[in-house]
Structure 1
Amino acid sequence: MKSKKTIIFPKYQEVMSRLGENIKLARKRRKLTTMQVSERAGIDRTTLYKIEKGDSKVSIGSYFNVLRVLGLQDDFLKLAADDEFGRKLQDLDLI
């Protein structure tokens, strides 16, 4: 069975690129090499390069492991934490 190809529209790819850049800056601030981070995260160095570029084809687990190595694993919990739109929809049902 063929897997579906994930499509990220260009304006949303910018979000992924910014995430990758933030991860790269966090690594550099900690003075960690790509080899150190990739080994500690249990991923190939090529995968780390893709993460730092914001590649959407890399698994979310790999992103999490890199954040864990950088001590930023709690930031992962911030993803989709504030569902303002969902609360507004829910409130409309209550009226």
Structure 2
Amino acid sequence: MGSPKSKSALERLGQDIRGARLRRGIAVADLAVRAGTSPSTVARLEKGDPGVAIGTLADVLVVLGLVERLADLIDIRKDDLGLALIAERQPRRGRSFAATLRRKQARDETAQAETDIVDPDGAAF
């Protein structure tokens, strides 16, 4: 099914949704009507059921006035590991195409100068 970590995170999310609903004094049936779903789906969401669609979660959060929290769930500007990996993969300094071409030409000229000169008669110098 899912990992124990994801299961506990979904259960905690469900508990938080239930707590937010109770603080607002909204019944499960009322929340379900406002979110466009069934009371049993809201109950499953509050229990941390992984089978509840993310769209349903978003609709419930809209009703509770917490939908902006869903948008901030994965903020790539705060993804320390991802930012570190990107920084590691970036080149230390960039090179223009012209510099790369000049370097290649210099290597070719050096390689050509280092080759033996062969006399048409077959004698090498």
Q: Distance in 1 between matches of 2:28 and 2:38?
A: 10
In the comparison of the two structures, how many residue pairs are matched? 89
User: Where in structure 2 are the equivalents of 1:1-95 lying within 5 Å?
Assistant: 7-81=1-75, 82-94=78-90, 95=92
Q: Distance in 2 between matches of 1:12 and 1:67?
A: 20
SS of 1:61's partner is: helix
With normalisation by structure 1, the TM-score equals: 0.89
With normalisation by structure 2, the TM-score equals: 0.68
Q: Among all aligned residue pairs of Structure 1 and Structure 2, give the percentage whose two residues are the same amino acid.
A: 35
- Unaligned regions of 5+ residues in structure 1, if any? 1-6
Whose Rg is larger? Answer: 2
The one-letter code of the counterpart of 2:84 is K
Q: Distance in 2 between matches of 1:79 and 1:46?
A: 25
Moved beyond 4 Å, runs of 4+: none
The structure with higher relative contact order (CA 8 Å, sep 6+) is 1
Query: Per-residue deviation at 1:11?
Result: 2.3
